[in-house]
C-alpha cells in the first residue's frame, strides 16, 4: 500500500509527474517505512513533497500568464463585437448577430454607461428628479409670513416640524403608540412633500439627467390667504406670475412642461373659478387650473376633478408620520389586535339645511340601529371636537366598517384616518376614492372597501346594516387585512428622518409621476400624441380607472350635471 501522505487516490501517471522518477522514490520510501531509520524516510518523503510544490508553482505561473493573455484577447473581442453592432446599424443589410448582453449595454442612457463600465450600476437611472429653484415668493416667503395664511387658524404652529405640526401629546396608549404622531393640518401637504423631496436619493442638479422636474410652488398656501377675499385679481396674481416664470425657463422649453410636476395641498375646486372677471367677486377660488402652462404639467393634489387629464389625487396627510419600517409594522400589528365592538360608525356633522343630503339618511339609520351596531359621533361645532386626533381615531379603531360619504366635496381626510385605524371604509360615490387615488389604492375596490350606491340608500332599496351583514365573516377578515396592508402607502414618512424599507405615500406618488412622464416623453419623441391626449376631458375619470372608454355602470355618477348631495 502507498503511504497515506500521497493520498489513497494518488495517480502515479498524473500528467504533472515523471512516472519513472516518482515510482523509484515512492518504492524506496516504502521500503524504509517501518525500519528504524526514520530520518532517512522523512528526507525521502520531503524531497518528493518539494518536487510537487516546485512543479505546481511553475505550472501556476504559466497558467497566470495564459489568463492575462486571454483577458486581452476577450477584451479585443468585445470591442470587435461593439464595432460590429455599430456597423450593423449603419448597414442594415449586414448579417450580424448581436449578442444580447452587448445590445442591452448599448441601449442604456449615456450617464449609466460610465458607471456600468466601472462595474457599478446606476440605481437612479430613470429616477432622477431636478428640483426647480423657484424664487422665494413662491414657497419660503409664504412660510415666513405664516401668520397671514389663514384668518382662523394658527398656521405657524401647524407648519412647524417640516409641515407636520406640533407633536401629538397623548395619554391614551390604547389609541396611539410610538412618538411619530403629530397634529398635522390637512392642508399642509405642500410643505411635507417638499421636505420629503429634499431627502429623495435620486436628486440631480443636471437637468439633462432628469426624468422629471419638481416645481416647489406652495399654491395651496398661496390661495388660502385670499379665498375669502372679494378681490379676484389678488387671488390670481401669484399663480399667473408662476406660469410666466415657468414658460421662460429653458427647462420648460424642452418638453413644454410635460416633464414638470407640482404638489397642490388643497382640492381642485379651490383652483377652478370659471369666471375671468376680476373686477368684483366672481366665484370661489382662483384660476390656476385654467392656465395653459399649468395644464401641461402633472398636478398632484388632495382631490382631482374627474374631468381633468392633468390631475392626480394623492392621500391627505394623516396624524402618523413614521420614522422607520419597524414603527409601521408595530402599528399594523396593533390594528390587527384591536377589539371592534361596533359594526359600523360615522363621524361627521349633519346637514339640516340640505334636506336631500345623504348624511341625514345615514345618521338617521345609525341612530336607529339595533343593539348599538352603529356609533355616531356628531362633529357639529360645540358638540364634539373632531379636530382632536383622539376623537376620530378611537372611534375608527372600535369599528369594523367606517362610513365615508362625500363631505363638502367628494373626498374627506377621514378616509385615510379610517384606513390608518384598520377600519374598512364604506363609500357611497365612486369619486370619493376609486377614481381619485388610482396610484395608492387597489383597482379591485371590493378587496378593501364596501360600495353602497347613494341613490339606493336614498330610495330605501337597501339599508347599510343589512348590506354589511350579508358579507361573510371570512371576507370581512380578509378585507380588514387588506386595509392594514395599505397603511404604509397612505402615510407620509417623517421628512426629518431617512426612512428605508417601505414605500410611503410620497414614494408611490413619485414613482407614478416618473412613469407618467416617461410615457409622455416617449410619445412626444416619437412625434405623436398618445391615446390619453385624445381622451375627452369629461371621460378622463373613466380612462384613468378602467383604461378604456366603454359604457360603465358608473356613467350615471359623472354626467353633465354630476354633483354632491
Q: Are residues 201 and 303 in the same domain?
A: yes
Condensed to tens digits (0 to 9), the pLDDT of residues 113-150 reads 345 433 447 899 999 999 999 999 999 999 999 999 99
The larger pLDDT score, comparing residue 120 to residue 406, is at 406
Question: Where does the pLDDT of residue 244 fall: very low under 50, low under 70, confident under 90, or very high at 90 and above?
Answer: very high
In a domain, 518, yes or no: no
In a domain, 370, yes or no: yes
- Distance separating alpha carbons of residues 158 and 164, to the nearest angstrom: 7
What is the per-residue pLDDT for 357?
85
% of the chain surpassing 90 pLDDT: 63
Condensed to tens digits (0 to 9), the pLDDT of residues 74-100 reads 344 333 333 433 343 344 333 333 323
In a domain, 403, yes or no: yes
- Distance separating alpha carbons of residues 264 and 299, to the nearest angstrom: 7
Q: Are residues 208 and 301 in the same domain?
A: yes
What is the per-residue pLDDT for 178?
84
Q: Are residues 82 and 214 in the same domain?
A: no
Residues 6 or more apart whose Cβ sits within 8 Å of residue 353 = none
Averaged pLDDT, 302-320:
97
% of the chain surpassing 70 pLDDT: 76
What is the per-residue pLDDT for 372?
82
The larger pLDDT score, comparing residue 465 to residue 522, is at 465
Condensed to tens digits (0 to 9), the pLDDT of residues 269-310 reads 999 998 887 666 678 999 999 999 999 999 999 999 999 999
In a domain, 95, yes or no: yes
Averaged pLDDT, 432-457:
97
Q: Are residues 150 and 65 in the same domain?
A: no
Q: How many CB atoms lie within 10 A of CB 137?
A: 14
What is the per-residue pLDDT for 534?
85
- Distance separating alpha carbons of residues 331 and 171, to the nearest angstrom: 17
Q: Are residues 228 and 306 in the same domain?
A: yes
Q: Are residues 261 and 175 in the same domain?
A: yes
In a domain, 147, yes or no: yes
Asked whether the beta carbons of 289 and 239 are under 8 A apart, the reply is no
What is the per-residue pLDDT for 59?
62
**What range defines the domain where residue 444 resides?**
325-490
Q: Are residues 191 and 305 in the same domain?
A: yes
- Distance separating alpha carbons of residues 400 and 30, to the nearest angstrom: 87
Question: Where does the pLDDT of residue 559 fall: very low under 50, low under 70, confident under 90, or very high at 90 and above?
Answer: confident
In a domain, 558, yes or no: no
CATH code, domain with 351: 3.40.50
| pLDDT tops 90 at residue 560 | no
| pLDDT tops 60 at residue 379 | yes
Condensed to tens digits (0 to 9), the pLDDT of residues 479-532 reads 999 999 999 999 999 999 888 889 999 999 999 999 999 998 888 777 666 667
| pLDDT tops 70 at residue 42 | no
The larger pLDDT score, comparing residue 278 to residue 550, is at 550
Averaged pLDDT, 17-36:
38
Where a domain ends, among 490, 515, 540?
A: 490
Q: Are residues 44 and 94 in the same domain?
A: yes
The larger pLDDT score, comparing residue 66 to residue 420, is at 420
What is the per-residue pLDDT for 71?
42
Q: Are residues 138 and 230 in the same domain?
A: yes
Where a domain ends, among 266, 290, 313?
A: 313
The larger pLDDT score, comparing residue 10 to residue 444, is at 444
Where a domain ends, among 490, 518, 536?
A: 490
Identify the sign of the CA torsion 312, 531, 548, 454: positive
What is the per-residue pLDDT for 281?
65
- Distance separating alpha carbons of residues 155 and 46, to the nearest angstrom: 88
Q: Are residues 293 and 404 in the same domain?
A: no
In a domain, 551, yes or no: no
Residues 6 or more apart whose Cβ sits within 8 Å of residue 524 = 255, 258
| pLDDT tops 70 at residue 231 | yes
Q: Are residues 270 and 336 in the same domain?
A: no
What is the per-residue pLDDT for 229?
85
Give the C-alpha distances (Å, rounded to integers) separating 198 from 55, 206, 207, 494. 62, 16, 16, 12
Asked whether the beta carbons of 259 and 517 are under 8 A apart, the reply is yes
Lookup: cell for 47: 524531497
**Average pLDDT of the chain to the nearest whole number:** 82
Q: Are residues 336 and 442 in the same domain?
A: yes
399-404 and 342-348 strand pairing: parallel
Query: What total of structural domains would you count in the chain?
Result: 3
Burial class (CB in 10 A: 0-12, 13-18, 19+), 136: exposed
In a domain, 307, yes or no: yes
What is the per-residue pLDDT for 530?
62
Amino acid at each position: 500500500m502507498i503511504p497515506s501522505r500521497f493520498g489513497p487516490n494518488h495517480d502515479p501517471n498524473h500528467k504533472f509527474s515523471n512516472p519513472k522518477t516518482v515510482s523509484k522514490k515512492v518504492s524506496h520510501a516504502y521500503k524504509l517505512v517501518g525500519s528504524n531509520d526514520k530520518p532517512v524516510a522523512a528526507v525521502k518523503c520531503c524531497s518528493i513533497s518539494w518536487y510537487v510544490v516546485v512543479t505546481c508553482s511553475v505550472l501556476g505561473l504559466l497558467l497566470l500568464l495564459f489568463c492575462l493573455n486571454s483577458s486581452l484577447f476577450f477584451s479585443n473581442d468585445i470591442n470587435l463585437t461593439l464595432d460590429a453592432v455599430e456597423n450593423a446599424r449603419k448597414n442594415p443589410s449586414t448579417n450580424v448577430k448581436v449578442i444580447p448582453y452587448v445590445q442591452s449595454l448599448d441601449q442604456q442612457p449615456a450617464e449609466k454607461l460610465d458607471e456600468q463600465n466601472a462595474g457599478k450600476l446606476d440605481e437612479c437611472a430613470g429616477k432622477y428628479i431636478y428640483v426647480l429653484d423657484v424664487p422665494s415668493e413662491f414657497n419660503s416667503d409664504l412660510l415666513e409670513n405664516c401668520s397671514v395664511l389663514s384668518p382662523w387658524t394658527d398656521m405657524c404652529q401647524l407648519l412647524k416640524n417640516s409641515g407636520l405640526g406640533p407633536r401629538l401629546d397623548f395619554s391614551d396608549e390604547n389609541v396611539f403608540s410610538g412618538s411619530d404622531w403629530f397634529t398635522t393640518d390637512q392642508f399642509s401637504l405642500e410643505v411635507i412633500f417638499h421636505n420629503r423631496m429634499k431627502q429623495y436619493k435620486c436628486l440631480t442638479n443636471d437637468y439633462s439627467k432628469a426624468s422629471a422636474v419638481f416645481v416647489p410652488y406652495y399654491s395651496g398656501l398661496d390661495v388660502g390667504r385670499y379665498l375669502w377675499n372679494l378681490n379676484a385679481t389678488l387671488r390670481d396674481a401669484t399663480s399667473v406670475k408662476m406660469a410666466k416664470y415657468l414658460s421662460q425657463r429653458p427647462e420648460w422649453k424642452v418638453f413644454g412642461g410635460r416633464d414638470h410636476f407640482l404638489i397642490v395641498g388643497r382640492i381642485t375646486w379651490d383652483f377652478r373659478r370659471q369666471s375671468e372677471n376680476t373686477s368684483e367677486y366672481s366665484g370661489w377660488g382662483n384660476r390656476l387650473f385654467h392656465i395653459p402652462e399649468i395644464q401641461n404639467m402633472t398636478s398632484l393634489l388632495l382631490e382631482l376633478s374627474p374631468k381633468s387629464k392633468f390631475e392626480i389625487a394623492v392621500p391627505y396627510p394623516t396624524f402618523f408620520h413614521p420614522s422607520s419600517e419597524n414603527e409601521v409594522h408595530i402599528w399594523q400589528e396593533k390594528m390587527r389586535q384591536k377589539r371592534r365592538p361596533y359594526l359600523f360608525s360615522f363621524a361627521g356633522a349633519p346637514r339640516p339645511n340640505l334636506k336631500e343630503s345623504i348624511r341625514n339618511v345615514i345618521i338617521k339609520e345609525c341612530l336607529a340601529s339595533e343593539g348599538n351596531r352603529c356609533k355616531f359621533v356628531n362633529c357639529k361645532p360645540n358638540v364634539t371636537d373632531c379636530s382632536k386626533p383622539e376623537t376620530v381615531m378611537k372611534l375608527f379603531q372600535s369599528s369594523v366598517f367606517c362610513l365615508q360619504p362625500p363631505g363638502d366635496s367628494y373626498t374627506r381626510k377621514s378616509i385615510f384616518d379610517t384606513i390608518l385605524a384598520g377600519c374598512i371604509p364604506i363609500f357611497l360615490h365612486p369619486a370619493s376614492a376609486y377614481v381619485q387615488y388610482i396610484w395608492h389604492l387597489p383597482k379591485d375596490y371590493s378587496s378593501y372597501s364596501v360600495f353602497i350606491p347613494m341613490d339606493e340608500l336614498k330610495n330605501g332599496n337597501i339599508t347599510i346594516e343589512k348590506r354589511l351583514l350579508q358579507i361573510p365573516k371570512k371576507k370581512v377578515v380578509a378585507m380588514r387585512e387588506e386595509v392594514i396592508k395599505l397603511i404604509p402607502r397612505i402615510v407620509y414618512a417623517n421628512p426629518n428622518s431617512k426612512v428605508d424599507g417601505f414605500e410611503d405615500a410620497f414614494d408611490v406618488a413619485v414613482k407614478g409621476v416618473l412613469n407618467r412622464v416617461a410615457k409622455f416623453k416617449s410619445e412626444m419623441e416619437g412625434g405623436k400624441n398618445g391615446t390619453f391626449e385624445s381622451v375627452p376631458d369629461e371621460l378622463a375619470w373613466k380612462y384613468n380607472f378602467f383604461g378604456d372608454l366603454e359604457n360603465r355602470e358608473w356613467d350615471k355618477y359623472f354626467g353633465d350635471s354630476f354633483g354632491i348631495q
